[in-house]
Amino acid sequence: MEYARIAEAYERIERTTGRLEMTQLLVDLFKMTPKAVLPQVVYLTQGKLYPDYVGVEVGVAEKLAIRAVAQAASVSETEVQKQLHALGDLGEATMRLMEGHRPKGERLTVQDVYSTLDEMARASGAGSQEKKINLLRDLLRRASPKEAKYIVRTVTGKLRLGVGDMTVLDALAVALAGDKRFRVDLERAYNLSSDLGLVAETLAKGGIEEVRKFHVSVGHPIRPMLAERLASPEEILQKLGGRCIAEYKYDGERVQVHKRGKDVVLYSRRLENITAQYPDAIELVRAHVKAKDAIIECEAVAIDPDTGELRPFQELMHRRRKYGIREAMELYPISLFAFEVLYVDGQDLTLKSYEERHRMLEKIIEPSDRFRIAEYLITEDPEELELFFQRAIQDGCEGVICKAVHPKAVYQAGARGWLWIKYKRDYKSEMTDTVDLVVVGAFYGRGRRGGTYGALLLAAYDPKADLFRSVTKCGSGFSDEDLEQLPKRLKEYKLDHRHPRVDSKMEADVWFAPGMVIEVIGAEITLSPTHTCGWGAIKPNAGLAIRFPRFTGRYRDDKSPEDATTCEEIISMYQRQLKTVAAS
């Protein structure tokens, strides 16, 4: 097929203002396209060479393209610049400069253009710039002025016809299957493969029947299922038919894992290949996924390696880099929490119910601290759901995602639907004051903190009851020296049971008599099902907790435990925080 046909179609598409007309023009283009080059035509029409997840872009810098245009049109680069300035678009400028140009050699075919652009995209290393310029120059010499305009726009990433994925699917349905109603089948295939070219090819070769048989496959990322949102456990349960699996909504990055034997590839929520960023995740998958081939979805979350506690999303962002990956991996380790399985050893699971998929997940994952299934609760009870939500918040999550468990709860690739409903805290606020808290217990450390304490259980003072009520578990902010000193400093308070004046639902590894006071700052105060400070004051069956607490480095030896921050103070800090949020 001659590239001229495409250039003509682009010209017409560019002039249309309506989507219907645009679709019709695409239908005409796809109808005249031979099957063999249909995928290429589909990619080119969106200004691409491959589906996005492949990560190969034509991407020639404008500066280089100008040089190639100057050589092809036998004018100076300054002349090209001048035209570019006057017309505001290098494609138009090229067409103007090449007016009257007689193409050399045979007419350009789609295949010629595609393979040259592909060669340009793949050129790398020393001399690659020169190579790209030469390839582009030679291609332009073979092009008509109009063809040159669209080639230049394509290579500089400025084709911008505005042809969206859904328009392509509509046009394919009409052009090759004869009716727009087949769009749903094509859309499903697209959602399972993220590859419009592959969908077009399957349709062209095997008709709609083949498209309907489409399966997920390792190496083709699946467009993610997303959640709707509701504001109360009652509404959520009602919407989900009275029963659901509630899962922690981890605050990290969604990772779609594609495993084929030892080969593991990771895709982001936007389906970019992020394998290089997470060598540790690759190792975790190899070590803990028992299936040979699988597609699994996880949330990667930054953790404190010494306590295993979750860290805020901002810490994970340090992992988004191209260089220094090993260092970042040491400084900001992650855990993986799996929440979906879509394929296992030849079996497409996307049309199975979530209960079945979840059972499969449990079967193929050998859990460890660093790789396990997302914390979950199967419930029919709004109160139980509310408590689970509070626990999720306290443990450093954004909230919960409640998932339908009825037989029709399939994986809705690429859709935001009511089979998943998120229940989030929708306020964010900072705790501005530090608090002085009493050390009432400790948890043994792991990893670097083996042999010392990994985290301390801290309490606020309740003068009315004369009790110390737990309010947080703090493992951050301690220097190496602090860690070494802590067992020595706390030795005099050590007990083998909870002190009678300590009120805690949490079981510490070591208990202390109230004595040591330390200064702590946190991200905010939240409702908590496990901490007893302010129990029942804001909501029945809930206390208050400090989220993401950090030791400021100050031991308040000048304070007795009875001088510590009181539960009343924590309650009023929580109420102030709510007001600030309401006002903002």
In the complex, the residues that contact ligand ATP under the rule CB under 6 A are: 224, 226-227, 247-250, 254, 269, 299, 339, 374, 401, 422
**Other Cβ atoms closer than 10 A to 553:** 11
Closer residue to ligand ATP, CB minimum distance, 336 or 573? 336
| CA 39 to chain CA mean position, Å | 28
Distance CA 475, CA 442 (A): 10
Q: Which of 132, 249, 352, 473 is catalytic?
A: 249
Task: Report, in Å, the least distance between residue 86 CB and ligand ATP.
Answer: 43
Residue placing its CB nearer to ligand ATP in the complex, 212 or 318: 318
- DSSP H helices in 174-226: 183-193, 196-212
Q: Looking at beta carbons only, is 310 or 571 nearer to ligand ATP?
A: 310
* Residue number with CB closer to ligand ATP (48 or 424): 424
Decide whether 228 or 433 has the Cβ nearer to ligand ATP: 228
Q: Which is nearer to ligand ATP, 144 or 191 (CB)?
A: 191
CB of 579 to ligand ATP, least distance (A): 25
Closer residue to ligand ATP (CB): 154 or 412: 412
Q: What is the largest CA-CA distance in the chain?
A: 96
Distance between first and last Cα of the chain: 60
Judged by CB, which is closer to ligand ATP: 1, or 415?
415
CB atoms within 10 A of CB 331: 13
Active site residue 473: no
Q: Which residues contact 73 (CB under 8 A, 6 or more apart)?
A: 80, 94, 97, 98, 101, 140
CA 197/CA 389 separation, integer angstroms:
42
Q: What sign does the dihedral 356-360-362-367 (CA atoms) show?
A: negative
Tokens of 250: 């981890």
Beta carbons of 25 and 16 less than 8 angstroms apart: yes
Report the DSSP beta bridge partners of residue 248.
400
Query: Are 522 and 562 contacting, i.e. CB atoms less than 8 angstroms apart?
Result: no
Q: Is 125 exposed, middle or buried (0-12, 13-18, 19+ CB in 10 A)?
A: exposed
- Minimal distance in Å, beta carbon 473 to ligand ATP? 22
Tokens of 158: 């400025």
CA 335 – CA 264 distance, rounded (Å): 17
Instruction: Report whether 433 contacts 573 (CB < 8 A).
Output: yes
Query: Whose Cβ is closer to ligand ATP: residue 224's or residue 561's?
Result: 224
What minimum distance in Å lies between the beta carbon of 227 and ligand ATP?
A: 4
Half-sphere exposure of 179 (CA within 13 A, CB side): 5
- Put residue 447 in one of left, alpha, beta given phi > 0 → left and psi -120 to 50 → alpha: left
| Least gap, CB of 248 to ligand ATP (angstroms) | 6
The CA-based dihedral angle spanning residues 101, 106, 109, 113, taken in that order and rounded to the nearest 10 degrees? -60
Query: Which helix (H) or strand (E) is 541 found in, with range?
Result: none
Nearest residue to 335 via CA among 281, 398, 282, 400: 281
Phi and psi at residue 546, to the nearest 5°: -95, 125
Closest distance between ligand ATP and the C-beta of residue 362, in Å?
14
Shortest approach of ligand ATP to residue 392 CB, angstroms? 9
485-490 contacts, C-beta under 8 A, 24 or more apart: 486/442, 486/452, 486/453, 486/456, 487/452, 487/453, 489/516, 489/555, 490/439, 490/442, 490/453, 490/516
Least separation in angstroms between CB 325 and ligand ATP: 21
Measured from the CB atom, the residue of 249 and 473 that comes closer to ligand ATP is: 249
Angle between helices 165-172 and 19-32 (to 10 degrees): 50
Residues known to be catalytic: 249
